[in-house]
């Protein structure tokens, strides 16, 4: 499966299921499965390390403290560390979802009870109800995002107001958490050179480095790689932006998929298709004809005038369509002639030296003999179906 994904989807990132990883750990590590110290260290290697350097230190300490240097399963797991540890996957966009949560979210989203005995017809009904529930929930969420205004316990500063207008309600709650964390963080300036500044931001027990470029371009990046992983600025970057009195999220850091207008391209496409469609014109034309018919229905001369005018318009319109079709056919013929000016024919067949006549099989020989024994009466024009009495067979 891993090799197939690398070949068919080269731009994707294949990761192992965390739930299966815990199950395999219990079956391969014996008594360590009930050791809380080992479990905490193993869990930190999976999701708690901020970078590869932190992972190496944590993994080395876990192996030495529990004498796992010669464990073949631990060695194999270390070789595949890029497929399961978050420390090696923060630079890839995954919306922060763990590999085990993807199957759980799918099972929760489906939400219908299908058994092994469920036939195809029942399954179709259940799945149709599920699709209808999805669409109903989606329409409700879109209505709440467009019409509703999120509530917040923070002062409605410019950056919070912008986030409430741009992001959806769910994403705004996540942004609000990051903004509250940035207010409690502390920072210090490490280096400065021209328009580049390097800060160190402390968040709890961890420290991160934030790079800030000139105020005109407003480029900021953090070693936690939250924006690369989830598409949202982290609390460390927000802290540095507020330090430089930047009260607006830069446009390059607003991921369109998290905004209220994420489907704007789809809406524009539907509007464009409707503008090209002739259905609105037909409705308007029928409406105008109906209004005209209602206005002149009581006057015989007016009715006759409308009928004669409609007939002349019909003939003129048909003539215009014929002229357009003839011009189109002439253009296509010119293109075909220009493309097929050089005709390539099949080569002449030549009998090769030593070629013999094909030997007929016994079935062809027997068929030839049967044809000679047929009566001349049977060689006449065949009768119509059902006019000849079939041969009687004895059973």
pLDDT higher at 328 or 36: 36
Question: Stretch 102-128: mean pLDDT, rounded?
Answer: 73
Structure confidence at residue 291 (pLDDT): 87
Cα separation, 207 vs 159, in Å, equals 25
Structure confidence at residue 100 (pLDDT): 56
Best CA proximity match to 167, nearest among 267, 257, 95, 266: 257
Helix (H) or strand (E) holding 146: helix 120-147
Strands (E), the chain: 186-193, 196-203, 206-212, 220-222
Q: Residue 191: beta bridge partners?
A: 198
Tokens of residue 81, six digits: 């560390």
Cα 131–Cα 133–Cα 135 angle in degrees, nearest 5 = 70
The mean pLDDT of the chain is 79
Cα separation, 89 vs 75, in Å, equals 20
Is residue 356 very low, low, confident or very high in pLDDT (cuts 50, 70, 90)? low
pLDDT in tens, 303-324: 889 888 888 888 888 888 888 8
pLDDT in tens, 22-52: 888 888 887 787 788 888 888 888 888 888 8
Question: Stretch 244-262: mean pLDDT, rounded?
Answer: 87
Cα separation, 175 vs 180, in Å, equals 9
pLDDT surpasses 80 at 292 = yes
Is residue 385 very low, low, confident or very high in pLDDT (cuts 50, 70, 90)? very low
pLDDT in tens, 51-85: 888 899 999 999 998 888 888 889 999 998 888 88
pLDDT surpasses 80 at 380 = no
Tokens of residue 120, six digits: 């195809």
Helix (H) or strand (E) holding 182: helix 169-184
Burial class (CB in 10 A: 0-12, 13-18, 19+), 341: exposed
Question: Stretch 219-223: mean pLDDT, rounded?
Answer: 89
DSSP annotation of 45 reads: I
Ranges of each domain in the chain: 2-104, 111-147, 158-258
């Amino acid at each position: 499966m891993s090799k197939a994904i690398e070949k068919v989807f080269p731009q994707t990132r294949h990761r192992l299921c965390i739930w299966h990883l815990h199950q395999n750990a219990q079956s391969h590590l014996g008594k360590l499965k009930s050791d809380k110290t080992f479990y905490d260290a193993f869990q930190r290697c999976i999701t708690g390390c901020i970078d590869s350097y932190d992972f190496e230190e944590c993994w080395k300490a876990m192996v030495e403290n529990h004498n796992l240097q010669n464990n073949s399963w631990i060695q194999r797991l270390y070789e595949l560390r890029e497929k399961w540890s978050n420390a090696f996957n923060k630079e890839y966009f995954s919306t922060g979802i763990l590999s085990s949560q993807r199957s759980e979210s799918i099972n929760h989203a489906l939400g219908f009870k299908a058994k092994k005995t469920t036939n195809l017809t029942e399954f179709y009904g259940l799945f149709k109800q599920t699709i209808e529930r999805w669409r109903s929930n989606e329409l409700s969420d879109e209505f709440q995002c467009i019409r509703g205004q999120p509530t917040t316990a923070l002062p409605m500063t410019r950056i919070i107001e912008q986030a409430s207008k741009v992001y959806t309600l769910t994403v705004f709650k996540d942004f609000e958490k990051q903004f509250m964390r940035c207010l409690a963080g502390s920072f210090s300036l490490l280096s400065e050179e021209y328009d580049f500044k390097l800060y160190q931001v402390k968040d709890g027990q961890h420290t991160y480095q934030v790079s800030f470029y000139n105020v005109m371009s407003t480029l900021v990046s953090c070693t936690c790689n939250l924006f690369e992983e989830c598409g949202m600025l982290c609390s460390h970057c927000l802290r540095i932006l507020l330090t430089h009195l930047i009260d607006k999220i830069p446009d390059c850091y607003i991921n369109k998929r998290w905004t209220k207008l994420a489907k704007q391209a789809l809406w524009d496409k539907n509007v464009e298709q409707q503008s090209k469609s002739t259905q609105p014109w037909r409705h308007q034309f029928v409406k105008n004809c109906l209004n005209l018919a209602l206005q002149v229905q009581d006057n015989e001369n007016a009715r006759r005038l409308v009928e004669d005018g409609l007939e002349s318009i019909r003939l003129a319109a048909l003539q215009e369509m014929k002229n357009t079709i003839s011009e189109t056919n002439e253009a296509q013929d010119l293109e075909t002639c220009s493309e097929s000016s050089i005709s390539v024919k099949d080569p002449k067949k030549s009998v090769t030296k030593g070629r013999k006549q094909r030997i007929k099989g016994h079935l062809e020989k027997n068929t030839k003999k049967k044809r000679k024994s047929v009566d001349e009466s049977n060689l006449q024009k065949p009768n119509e179906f059902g006019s000849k009495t079939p041969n009687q067979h004895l059973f």
